[in-house]
Amino acid sequence: MEITGIVDRIIYRNTDNGYTVLSLRTESADGFVTLCGTLPLASPGEQLRAEGNIKYHPKYGQQFVVSFAETLAPSTQLAIENYLSGGTVKGIGPAMARLIVARFGMDTLQIMEKEPERLLEIPGIGKKKLEMITGSFNENRSMRDILMALAPYGITVNQAYRMYKTYGDLALGKVQENPYQLIDDIDGIGFMTADAIAQRVAGFETNSAARLFAGIKYALQDARVEYGHTYLPYEKLVLKASTLLGVDQELLCDAVDAMIAEGALMEQLVGEQRGIFQPFVARMESAIAQKLMDLSEPPVANPFWDVEKYERELGLTLSESQRMAVTRALDAGVMIITGGPGTGKTTIIRCITHAFTGMGMTFALAAPTGRAAKRMTEATGSDAKTIHRLLEYNPQEGFVRNKDNPLIYDLVIVDEMSMVDVPLMHALLNALPRGTRLLLVGDADQLPPVGCGDVLRDCMDSGRLPVIRLTEIFRQAAKSRIITNAHRINQGHMPLLSSEESDFIFEEILPPERILDRVKALCLQECVRLGTSEPLMDVQVLAPMKKGMLGVENLNKVLQEALNPPALGKPEYAFGETLFRQGDKIMQIKNDYKVAWYKTDRGGALQEGTGVFNGDLGTLYRLDTANRIMHVLFDDGRLAEYTFTQSDELDLAYCISIHKSQGSEFPTVLLPLAGGPAMLLNRNLLYTAVTRAKGLVYCLGHRDTVARMVRTVQSRRRYTSLSVRLQEV
């Protein structure tokens, strides 16, 4: 659909990304149309031709969403006057614009471009103001020319604007020289986009070195980001790149070898395999292995530890395995403690921290996520921080704590280690000086981290670090059907399924539409059956998949409508297919180290910081449509501010994927299961879902689906080298 008119006024503009909302005066019966899109240069008075589609916004009504736009030459003196006074050209206001157009008429823009010194004929314009006006006019004209020149290459206005911001007047030349360089230089442009642009650039062949190198690099990066591999075997990388690029494998072998020779890739043996790495990942895994072995050298033994005394002081009776874990951990350099729910990991941490406190020794408690850190604090009574907070991360400097500014503690304990990926482990170890004791605690049977690597399993598999495996379920924990079933699932046995009163309820329902209705009814009308009167806060629906009737996306829409329906005075904002509404349950879906937040601690003191992370949960506390701002109150008390342009960082969280639930614990987990892709229905996933519940698991769906998940052991391991690197140190 196409529309043409005169820009009447700019309603909103984000100067960082060029997103603009404007009012366009047309000759149609409607008179004025609201346009929105990336229109960084559109100014009042300009004649604009735009292509796009009309969409209905629940708050702002009908809008024309722009996919392409171009500025047409102003057709009247009034249009030129409006353009000059619209704020695009610095130094010209409405009065000055009238004087200029009165003097030069329809030749105004041509004179400003080719004979700018004639502006000195206008009263009030001296040499200094002339420099400001011509500089601003030429900059905008140059930007406009570049944006229009990039359009034939299939580059969107948004992408072109970012290119101009990066390259300036060289943008067109950079695209023509090597479109694949855009991948490294321009945020938001990946291989697929660059490859599509390259197909429109004359002289770029499908087997050009630039394309092969970019495709290989993308294949390796995709393996890391999407699948968690830290490397790919040589043959698998060549095959993956060949499928992606549609070129002969022999050509790609030569390209991989050339990239290794010039240092763009790194080759290392992993066992008998030729592993091909992104160099920074290879260096991180090697550095982690070296540092762990450095730290594992036992510190000077302390003969004064008295575990029996600590038991008496804490009112505990440790099992034999727990006592051994405490005794060995007190004098170990590096120690791993792993076990499922109810096996006493938290009790061991309490005992160790009590011992260190009694000796006047310092310790730090950390976990990968805010929710996990909060749980650690509640369980131990000692303050725990996220690893990012412990390392004092900020967007300007990165991790402030590092080898030059290390953490000074006698002991660092990290919980939920199964969630820690290679980059985070590398950052943590980089800040620990030799002599620091390190205790790694986690459940090795949980899902691997969202990021790359498999640090906990690799450390355990290496055989180089002491590991205590806790298997005994304690009497109080054994009364819990959740814990009993979690261990049965982990051992490959069918969980005990019944509808009787317990903390694990199974309800057999077959058609997916009936399961969906039942989920909604439980959250809305029968929430007492879920053990709460606050389903929005206490109940977390988990799903194995994103798509489908029982997928994350559809469940979020259904539950939003049920638990937070629209109401007069309750603001809403549509972003793509997602409708945000004040009061919604919200999740952060990507790391953003720049988002500012503040909170008050237990003593009432104000804390400020930056950084929110993938998986953080909260509530859409306030939605300000006038200023296009959202305030999110996270579960750990942080209040963060987002502009509407950051909406891609947030998603509804009435239902979240089981993967995203790692490190979290919820009073009640509602788990609908009714089939799905085989790769998603496995024992690991079911075990993780069940162990996220603190008080109640309410599972509903197909008994056969549960049985299939228990039988299916995830065979696809990640390609990682940390275990081998540890054995080599």
pLDDT, tens digit, 9 for 90 and up, residues 42-64: 777 778 888 888 887 666 678 88
Helices (H) and strands (E) in the chain, counts: 27, 30
Query: How is residue 305 written in tokens?
Result: 């530890």
Name 394's bridge partners: 398
- pLDDT tens column, 168-204: 888 888 888 899 999 989 877 889 989 988 888 877 8
CA distance 414 to 234: 34
Distance CA 408, CA 345 (A): 25
Q: pLDDT tens digits for 585-618?
A: 999 988 787 888 988 877 778 888 888 887 888 9
Write down how long the chain is.
Answer: 729
Angle at 637 between CA 633 and CA 639, to 5 degrees: 40
Query: Which tokens is 423 given?
Result: 């980059």
d(CA 420, CA 438): 14
Q: What pLDDT is attached to residue 512?
A: 92
Structure tokens at 367: 């976990």
* CB environment 59-82: b (16+ within 10 A), e (fewer): eeeebbebeebebeebeeeebbbb
How deeply is 394 buried, as exposed, middle or buried, from its count of CB atoms within 10 A (0-12, 13-18, 19+)? middle
For the stretch 454-491, pLDDT in tens is 999 999 999 999 999 998 887 666 788 999 999 999 99
Of 438, 433, 678, nearest to 545 by C-alpha is 678
246 CB-contact burial (10 Å; exposed 0-12 / middle 13-18 / buried 19+): exposed
Q: Please, where are the H alpha helices in 383-538?
A: 387-390, 422-430, 455-462, 475-478, 481-490, 512-524, 535-538
Whole-angstrom distance, CA of residue 94 vs CA of residue 81: 8
Mean pLDDT, rounded, for 660-674: 90
pLDDT 10s digits, 602-661: 777 888 888 888 788 899 999 998 888 999 999 888 999 998 878 889 999 999 999 888
Distance CA 698, CA 694 (A): 12
Mean pLDDT of 432-437: 95
Rounded Cα–Cα distance for residues 238 and 252 (Å): 6
Q: Please, which pLDDT band fits residue 576 given cuts at 50, 70 and 90? A: confident
At 656, is the secondary structure helix, strand, or coil? strand
Average pLDDT, the chain: 88
- At residue 139, the pLDDT reads 72
Extended beta strands in 14-135, E state: 19-25, 32-38, 47-57, 61-72
Q: Can you give the pLDDT at residue 369? A: 84
Is the confidence at residue 295, as pLDDT, over 90?
Answer: yes
Q: Can you tell me the mean pLDDT for 200-212? A: 87
Cα end-to-end distance, the chain, whole Å: 64
Q: Which residue has the tokens 């229109």?
A: 39
Output the pLDDT for position 73.
Answer: 62
Does pLDDT of 80 surpass 90?
Answer: no
Residue 355 has which token pair? 């011992």
Instruction: For the chain, give the percent of residues with pLDDT over 70.
Output: 95
Instruction: Please name the residues in contact with 385: beta carbons below 8 A apart, sequence gap of 6 or more.
Output: 364, 365, 366, 367, 373
Instruction: Average the pLDDT over 512-519 and give the result.
Output: 94
CA 585/CA 695 separation, integer angstroms: 20
CA 463/CA 496 separation, integer angstroms: 35
Largest Cα span, the chain: 96
Which of 274-288, 409-423, 517-531, 536-550 is predicted with the least confidence, judged by mean pLDDT? Answer: 517-531
DSSP bridge pairs for 440:
336, 414
Among 169, 262, 157, smallest CA distance to 209 is for 262
pLDDT at 628 (0 to 100): 84
Q: Yes or no: say if 155 and 197 are a contact pair by the CB < 8 Å rule.
A: yes
Check: CB of residue 532 under 8 Å from CB of residue 667.
Answer: yes
- Tens of pLDDT, residues 345-403: 999 999 999 999 999 999 999 999 887 888 899 888 899 999 998 999 887 888 999 99
Instruction: Decide if pLDDT at 704 tops 80.
Output: yes
Tokens representing 404 are 């030059």
Nearest-angstrom CA–CA distance, 451 and 697: 27
Phi, psi of 100 (to 5 degrees): -65, -45
Which of 94, 8, 227, 171 minimizes the C-alpha distance to 714?
Answer: 227
3-state secondary structure of 25: strand
Report the C-alpha gap between 592 and 249 in whole angstroms. 38
Q: Whole-angstrom Cα distance, residue 518 to residue 562? A: 12
Separation CA 530–CA 559 (nearest Å): 15
